[in-house]
Amino acid sequence: IAKFLLSNDELSKKKIGELLGEGDEFNVKVLKAFVDLMEFGALDFDIALRKYLSKFRLPGEAQKIDRMMEAFAQQYYSQNPGKGTFQNSDTVYVLAFSVLMLHTDAHNPNIKKKMTKSEFLRNNSGINNGEDLPVDFMEDLYDKIVSTEIKMETDDATRFTNAEKKGWLTKQGGRIKTWKRRWFILSNHCLFYFKSPTDIEPCGIIPLENLVVTPADMGRKKACFVLHHESRDEMKACKVNNDGTLVKANHASYYIAAANEVEMESWVTAIQSNIHKNPFLELLEKKEAQVRKKKHTVSDSQPHTPPQQTQAQNTTSQSSTQYPSRGEFSIGTM
């Protein structure tokens, strides 16, 4: 099984990671056999780690990651006994985790304050059985990780293999009402659109949650349909910046055109079958309606009587309140 997982490049790296990370006795044995087939001897630490992480996608669960990194640590330590850098496999294990944290810090654009070299060294002080790893080794490792991103497998090429529908459509812009041709993919209750079929990251994502899709009359623009929320003025959607970060897209609706009426009807039908209801949103809207109704009921039950003051009341009010004169306000005390 381990040989099969290693030798078949068309397999999903995500599924391989999930299989290897499971804690069942069978999965643990497969992980051990999988790592035993990998050769880390005479490889620098970062090269060995990159090689290991290229064979699967790390799962999200902490326990699975722990088992997989421990397997790497034992294999790397057993195959590099003569280097003398590491006193035991626990050091390799801790350093591997530390490198993953450094990698995330260095290459995530959402993290503004990056880890410095001195902080990296300080964070790993005493991990080598109570001693520090050689400074030149650690500084070199830091430079390699920061300068060259570890390309972990993300299954980008196969992410939309099972998409329900793909094709070229023309989308009207939100703020600027120009029409642009985009490659659309309908998958997992979302509508993704790209500049090109070869792009990995989409330009935007439209979750098909509590939406309505219908044909639209756009005058000279034929074969159009429109997406909008069934009860709210704004849709839930997002755009993807060039750095990969997501930003909210402020759209009341999306107007999209197909090549012809037949293609438009096909897209409308496919999208309708992928629209799903969010029960929490429906409960929230019911609650808001109840609050509005209660507020109106209370307001209607209290007759509006404008306040009336007598001349004597006005005089009393003015005399009892001491207002400062124009020049008494001090900027320093405001």
What is the identity of the amino acid at 270? A
Return d(Cα 93, Cα 76) in angstroms, integer: 10
CB 189 within 8 A of CB 276: yes
What is the identity of the amino acid at 258? A
The angle at the Cα of 295, spanning 289 to 298, to the nearest 5 degrees, equals 140
Instruction: Concatenate the DSSP letters of all residues of 285-318 into one string.
Output: HHHHHHHHHHHHHHHHHS--------HHHHHHHH
Return d(Cα 279, Cα 260) in angstroms, integer: 35
CB atoms within 10 A of CB 299: 9
HEC string of 33-89? HHHHCCCCCCCCHHHHHHHHHCCCCCCCCHHHHHHHHHHHHHHHHHHCCCCCCCCCH
Which of 22, 39, 61, 234 does the annotation list as catalytic?
61
The angle at the Cα of 145, spanning 144 to 146, to the nearest 5 degrees, equals 95
Annotation says 61 is catalytic: yes
Q: Is 98 exposed, middle or buried (0-12, 13-18, 19+ CB in 10 A)?
A: middle
Tokens 């300068």, residue? Answer: 147
CB 202 within 8 A of CB 183: no
Tokens 């990651």, residue? Answer: 65
Catalytic residues: 61
